[in-house]
Amino acid sequence: MLAKQGVAPKNTHWAIDQDGWCAGATQLPSPNYGVRPAASEISLIVLHNISLPAGQFGGGYIQDLFLNRLNCDLHPSFNDLRELKVSAHFLILRDGSLLQCVSTLARAWHAGVSAFEGRSGCNDFSIGIELEGSDEIAFEAQQYQTLAALCRALLQRFAIQHIVGHNEIAPGRKTDPGPCFDWQHLQTLLQD
Ligand SMILES: [Zn+2]
């Protein structure tokens, strides 16, 4: 049986290619990125949740946001997103499909004002992964499967020291990936 592209079957081994793109991901290149500062080792994975509109899934609005093509007239809550330029390296949709918007070698714009272990500007040295979801709703099993396969690939390629939530690097400002994210489950999958 063929696996749907971008969805990780169990025991998937994805590679990150020399240009920083993950073999298992569907590429959806965003213009929102920059160069990482020289000598900034990639040492951190930051997990997020996002849904547009909040609490609603599907629709493709997250992808539109990351590609600067979101029609902000479509929903009242989108008003706040006008002129916003953001991105993440990866987006994992509810069905577990994996999209990559920025090369892992480049600096994506996901963390904002942030600090980890006294070091500010986490975008410089991190990889951002967005899970389609919200703080109030459990994530899907296939999202964890894809996330674990992706983390394994990233751990193999980069000297990752920590996997953290956005809330941990921007406390008081951010709450994602939120209380519904099952860190223990991710850890278990990574140990499989
Ligand atoms: Zn976030």
Using only C-alpha atoms, the chain has a radius of gyration, in whole angstroms, of 16
pLDDT for position 10: 63
**Whole-number pLDDT of residue 79:** 96
Q: What is the pLDDT of residue 152?
A: 96
Residues of the chain with pLDDT under 50: 1-3
Number of Cβ within 10 Å of residue 112's Cβ equals 14
Q: What is the pLDDT of residue 111?
A: 98
Q: Exactly one of 41, 83, 130, 136 is catalytic; which is it?
A: 130
User: Ligand 1 mean position to 5 CA, how many Å?
Assistant: 25
Cα 174 to ligand 1 centre (Å): 6
Give the type of residue at 167: N
Give me the pLDDT at residue 6, please.
64
Phi, psi (rounded to 5 degrees) for 151:
-60, -40
Residue ranges of domains in the chain: 26-113+123-155+164-191
Q: Does 136 participate in catalysis according to the annotation?
A: no
Residue 62 CA from chain centroid, whole number? 11
Report the separation in Å between the CA atom of 1 and the middle of ligand 1, taken as the mean of its atom positions. 35
Could you give the CA distance from residue 110 to residue 125 in angstroms, rounded to a whole number?
Answer: 12
The Cα–Cα gap between 108 and 116 comes to 17
The rounded Å distance from CA 63 to ligand 1 centre is 15
Burial annotation 117-154 (CB, 10 A radius, 16+ → b, else e)? eeeebbbbbbbbbbbbbbbeeebbebbbbbbbbbbbbb
- The HSE-up count of residue 147 (CA atoms within 13 Å, CB side) is 31
Q: What pLDDT, on the 0 to 100 scale, is given for residue 96?
A: 97
Task: Provide the H-helix boundaries in the chain.
Answer: 61-66, 141-157, 166-169, 183-191
Query: What's the pLDDT score for residue 178?
Result: 98
**CA 47 – ligand 1 centroid, Å:** 7
Give the pLDDT score at 1. Answer: 42
Torsion 48-53-57-62 (CA) sign: negative
Whether domain 26-113+123-155+164-191 has CATH 3.40.80.10: the reply is yes
